[in-house]
Amino acid sequence: ADRVAPLDLIDVDSLHSEEELQIRAVVRRLVADRVRPYVADWYERGEVPVRELAKEFGALGLLGMHLSGYSCAGASAVAYGLACMELEAGDSGLRSLVSVQGSLAMFAIWRYGSEAQKEQWLPAMAAGDAIGCFGLTEPDHGSDPASMKTRARRDGDDWILTGTKMWITNAPVADVAVVWARTEDGINGFVVPTETPGVSARTIKHKLSLRASVTGELVLDEVRLPADAVLPTARGLKVPLSCLTEARYGIVWGALGAARDCLDTAIDYATTRVQFDRPIAGFQLTQAKLADSALELEKGYLLALHLGRRADAGALRPQQVSVGKLNNVREALTIARQCRTILGANGISAEYPVMRHAANLETVLTYEGTSEIHQLVVGQQLTGLSAFAS
């Protein structure tokens, strides 16, 4: 009998406009041409040509894609989600590059910046000529950023920033860092050109996940910034959290891309790999794994699309993004692990994408709010009780 692709089982394409499908096709082609042939090598070496890729992504309008004005593409949330899905089908590290650039660094400036900050940074960042990073996490403060130690104090009109940010995607290659720091009036955001004296970034080595992404420690040692370096309308922790909601929305879609690539690979493999004189795809246990994986992929897709349509209607709430992130990353990881078993020994090789995706998804489960934190967000919605703090 003819084979049907997992997402075609329920005809998800029928839920999209022509324009959405076109954007998806363009990003899929980019990933096929510019990512797939090289990504296993980048991953193994732990090196990725971020600048080159950023320019290519920028040329296609993928950076700050869902923002409007300042040379941004002004695409819908659903189109942005589809782009994230295709990028992450290549590798979670490349979707991370686009998420951090567009949804964290650019969004922070676009939403909370001054006109001068927007003019200075957004067009260059949309083109991929300037790389941004977003410094919230610290060595001792991850899930609880409200306890951050990084401080900004006034010296005349200037600001002096001191602190250390940890696990910052793209910090070692960034031209500009959006840094969150405590001031006398609570938490504020600062736009910090990385060439400013006192700013340094060390690459974090020995990662066993997200190796096709540059991650760094960002050190701010008495960094002197002009008065206008502060994001004027960013006051309080809810501001960086609002940026994370933007990026998390992309993850809701992106994780499904990694899962889809694992499932496509496993189905291809299982239909050609013969054991006991039969393709392993003909064994019931293999089919059960494939069927259950396809179901979770489809359910996750419908959830992502629903959240995307809510976002495009201007009605998406952060807690709803938590539902999507928790479910879709957790299920994507389960799918990746199941698919890994179907490939047998080949499942652990970088010759196939499955182990790489599975290892990447461990990071995706943890960053942008851990799965536990999102469980607590959903738990609080259901009970009205916060289980976070003592």
- List contacts with ligand FAD (CB under 6 A): 100, 134-137, 142-143, 167-169, 210, 215, 363, 366-367, 370, 372-373, 376, 388
Cα–Cα distance list, 329 to 235, 261, 304, 319 (Å): 30, 14, 11, 15
> Of 378, 104, 144, 369, nearest to 247 (Cα)?
104
Q: Which long-range contacts (CB under 8 A, 24 or more apart) does 11-15 make?
A: 12/298, 12/301, 12/302, 12/305, 15/305
Cα–Cα distance list, 65 to 101, 169, 373 (Å): 10, 19, 28
Cβ nearer to ligand FAD, comparing 135 with 257: 135
Task: State the nearest-atom distance from the C-beta of 363 to ligand FAD, in Å.
Answer: 4
> Of 138, 126, 213, 199, nearest to 170 (Cα)?
213
Active site annotation includes 368: yes
Task: State the nearest-atom distance from the C-beta of 128 to ligand FAD, in Å.
Answer: 17
Burial of 60 (0-12, 13-18, 19+ CB in 10 A): middle
Task: State the nearest-atom distance from the C-beta of 260 to ligand FAD, in Å.
Answer: 22
Question: CB count, 10 Å around CB of 52?
Answer: 11
Cβ nearer to ligand FAD, comparing 93 with 257: 93
Yes or no: say if 245 and 255 are a contact pair by the CB < 8 Å rule.
no
Yes or no: say if 196 and 224 are a contact pair by the CB < 8 Å rule.
yes
Bridge partners of 225, per DSSP, are: 159
Yes or no: say if 187 and 148 are a contact pair by the CB < 8 Å rule.
yes
Cβ nearer to ligand FAD, comparing 137 with 245: 137
Cβ nearer to ligand FAD, comparing 86 with 368: 368
- SS3 percent helix, strand, coil of the chain, rounded to 5, is 55, 15, 25
How many helices (H) and strands (E) the chain has is answered by 12, 10
Cβ nearer to ligand FAD, comparing 251 with 297: 251
Cα 176–117–212 angle (5° rounding)? Answer: 30
Instruction: Please give the Cα distance from 236 to 189 (Å, whole number).
Output: 9
Task: State the nearest-atom distance from the C-beta of 359 to ligand FAD, in Å.
Answer: 11
Cβ nearer to ligand FAD, comparing 79 with 201: 201
Give me the catalytic one of 18, 86, 368, 372: 368
Name the closest residue to ligand FAD (Cβ): 142
Instruction: Please give the Cα distance from 269 to 339 (Å, whole number).
Output: 10
> Of 43, 379, 78, nearest to 252 (Cα)?
78
Task: State the nearest-atom distance from the C-beta of 43 to ligand FAD, in Å.
Answer: 13
Question: CB count, 10 Å around CB of 282?
Answer: 13
Task: State the nearest-atom distance from the C-beta of 248 to ligand FAD, in Å.
Answer: 11
Task: State the nearest-atom distance from the C-beta of 194 to ligand FAD, in Å.
Answer: 14
Yes or no: say if 42 and 104 are a contact pair by the CB < 8 Å rule.
no
Task: State the nearest-atom distance from the C-beta of 47 to ligand FAD, in Å.
Answer: 15
Q: Which residues are catalytic?
A: 368
